[in-house]
């Protein structure tokens, strides 16, 4: 099930990333019409980015310094223009829901390995929790458990058990409590609930 959940979450991430980027394109288009100078700066910055990569590959450090200076000047000019238009300085960056992974759900760590971003981990937990029928814990928990709902009469013919349903459910509750209390013990065996289809 967790693979299924992850795949559908990743599809959601793809969609929201795309939405944020399309939204930025729309904002840019509108803004460039009113402030054409901004488009000029953006085009120059793009060209400089290509030149910077080329210079890095050619180990051309003196040109790199010159380029960095020009880039800084252009960025300053861009920030000034945005300020004059009373727009926030991040107006020309996509509004990702998670600025850390830019809505990709993944990050590369210091060892160049890809790892899941906390936002995706949290979403996975939330979705798994929701699907586990455990969202009603405030009402349904050990404290509100009522063994009196179970008969205290032994009915061998019906249950093939020589203890009453109440005694049986109290034993089960006790086993569950022990399981919870010992949850961090790696040697503790799992609990398995079985029954006819539809029971839970």
Instruction: Please report, as ranges, the residues that interact with Zn ion according to CB under 5 A.
Output: 98, 100-101, 117, 119
CA distance 46 to 96: 21
If the CB atoms of residues 92 and 117 are measured against Zn ion, the closer one turns out to be: 117
CA distance 103 to 47: 26
Q: Give yes or no for a contact between 148 and 166, defined as CB atoms under 8 angstroms apart.
A: yes
Q: How far is the CB of 125 from Zn ion (least distance, A)?
A: 14
If the CB atoms of residues 11 and 54 are measured against Zn ion, the closer one turns out to be: 11
If the CB atoms of residues 18 and 134 are measured against Zn ion, the closer one turns out to be: 18
User: 59 in the Ramachandran plot: left (φ > 0), alpha (ψ -120 to 50) or beta?
Assistant: left
Q: How far is the CB of 116 from Zn ion (least distance, A)?
A: 9
Q: How far is the CB of 80 from Zn ion (least distance, A)?
A: 31
If the CB atoms of residues 78 and 102 are measured against Zn ion, the closer one turns out to be: 102
CA distance 120 to 102: 11
Q: How far is the CB of 98 from Zn ion (least distance, A)?
A: 3
Residue among 130, 131, 124 at smallest CA distance from 10: 124
Alpha helices (H) along 35-60: 36-57
């Amino acid at each position: 099930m967790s693979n299924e959940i992850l795949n559908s979450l990743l599809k959601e991430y793809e969609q929201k990333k795309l939405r944020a980027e399309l939204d930025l394109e729309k904002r840019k288009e509108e803004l460039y019409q009113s402030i054409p100078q901004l488009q000029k700066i953006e085009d120059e910055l793009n060209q400089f980015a290509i030149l910077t990569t080329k210079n890095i590959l050619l180990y051309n450090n003196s040109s790199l310094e010159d380029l960095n200076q020009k880039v800084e000047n252009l960025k300053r000019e861009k920030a000034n223009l945005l300020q004059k238009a009373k727009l926030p300085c991040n107006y020309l960056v996509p509004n990702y829901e998670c600025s850390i992974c830019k809505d990709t759900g993944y990050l590369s760590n210091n060892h160049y390995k890809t790892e899941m971003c906390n936002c995706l981990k949290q979403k996975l937990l939330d979705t798994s929790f929701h699907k586990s029928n455990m969202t009603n814990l405030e009402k349904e928990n050990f404290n509100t458990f009522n063994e009196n709902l179970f008969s205290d009469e032994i009915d061998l013919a019906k249950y093939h058990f020589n203890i009453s349903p109440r005694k049986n459910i109290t034993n089960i509750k006790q086993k569950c409590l022990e399981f919870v209390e010992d949850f961090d013990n790696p040697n503790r065996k799992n609990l398995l609930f079985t029954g006819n289809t539809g029971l839970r």
